[in-house]
Structure 1
Amino acid sequence: MTNNRKNRKVDGFLKKAKQWKEEFECLRNIILDCEELTEGIKWMHPCYMFEDKNIVLIHGFKEYCAILFHKGALLKDPHGVLIQQTENVQAARQIRFTNLQEVIELDSIIKEYVQEAIEIEKAGLEVELKKTEEYLIPEELQVKFDETPKLKVAFEALTPGRQRAYLLYFSKAKQTKTREARIEKYRQHILDGKGLND
């Protein structure tokens, strides 16, 4: 691995890391052993790209650190190590680690998966994402749409990602009362063309 492929911003990220520092450094070295990748920072984490396309990201949480493959759903996963972060994550998949030894033990598997991810990118393959129309509109939201047609128009004018975020958030509530409260809380947001987290 050549040091000139290391990005100073990633050096800074590692220097500041309070948790998972050794694991991050080891993952970085393993990933940089794979030719053709450029290192950078995206979403405040080390990200590795092939011809400016995101391949894999290193990130940490309280209980584990992980590498996240942006098109992980397309990886074959013969070793059964990939994890779908939540049921709503469509494309990305993680490999999680709770200590340095686990990273070291998976060295060759990580490289194998990174190489496959690069090949997927070279082939121009894309994850077929569920279309917004395939998500169910909660009954309570449909009632609001019927009562206020301009709310429906505003909702349909949102980007597909923003629409999905609202549909998932509203649907997650188990009780009608909670769904209605969530819809009411974000009614003005939708009318203003804003997303759930704007």
Structure 2
Amino acid sequence: MTRDPRVDAYIERKAAFARPIMAHLRNRVHAACPEAEEAIKWSSPAFMYKGQILCSMAAFKEHAAFGFWRGAEVTGTPEEKSAMGQFGKIASLADLPDDATLAELIGKAMALIDTGTKSPRVLKHPKPPVEPPEDLVAALAANPAAQTVFDGFAPGQRREYVEWIVEAKRPETRAKRLAQAVEWIAEGKKRNWKYEAC
């Protein structure tokens, strides 16, 4: 069991109600995961397992918090946008799950690390398709090569050109960007082609 003196100091500095909670959680983590190493992450105690964060705890003025790094996967409940971990505001030892439940949850967190599974990625909602402005539609229609390339672009590539043109503040700037866009598109260039690796 690897204990960090900075965690001792952290617990000692906290309010009287928090010290027994923090000491209990620390002991439960080490009992369930003897290989756990202590560290300070984001100014609070964390428990590392095989180089990855297993769980962490923190104490505040009127409550403590304890949570697993991959909480939703460990507890099987949807992750809430909260800094309170998976157990809400902990004001006393009675607010914690029993020792067997804690050990089981710590075991699940360890298994996620042992198996090398990655956290599921949050699905982003795709942006709606972008409608090119009339002046771009007309300019592309007048240049069949540019029209063909533009139609073959991915939605995000079309969006970059459309946004670049419509964000122009002055009519002269917009006209200049429109002409440049049609020229680049006809050459098969994406909007930010200058920055692409050769």
Aligned partners of 1:83 and 1:23: how far apart in 2?
A: 25
> Closer, same or farther in 2 for the Cα pair 1:9/1:136, shift >3 Å?
farther
- The RMSD of aligned alpha carbons is 3.4
Aligned to 2:52: 53
Contact 1:71 1:93 survives alignment (8 Å): no
Contact 2:53 2:69 survives alignment (8 Å): yes
Contact 1:71 1:126 survives alignment (8 Å): no
Q: Which has the larger Rg?
A: 2
Aligned partners of 2:59 and 2:126: how far apart in 1?
A: 30
Question: Per-residue deviation at 1:6?
Answer: 1.6
Question: Per-residue deviation at 1:93?
Answer: 5.2
Contact 2:29 2:106 survives alignment (8 Å): yes
Aligned partners of 1:51 and 1:111: how far apart in 2?
A: 18
Question: Per-residue deviation at 1:129?
Answer: 2.1
TM-score, scaled to structure 2: 0.56
Cα deviation digits, residues 90-138 of structure 1 (max 9, x gap): xx952232312333x522211110111001101011121225x53769x
* Structure 1: tracts of 5 or more residues without a match: 138-143, 150-198
* Structure 2: tracts of 5 or more residues without a match: 129-162, 170-198
Aligned partners of 2:126 and 2:42: how far apart in 1?
A: 27
Aligned partners of 1:115 and 1:71: how far apart in 2?
A: 12
Secondary structure at the aligned position of 1:75 is classed as helix
Aligned to 2:41: 42
- Alignment length, in residue pairs? 134
Aligned to 1:100: 93
> Closer, same or farther in 2 for the Cα pair 1:20/1:135, shift >3 Å?
farther
TM-score, scaled to structure 1: 0.56
Q: Which amino acid aligns with 1:134?
A: H
- 1:8 counterpart (1, 5, 10): 5
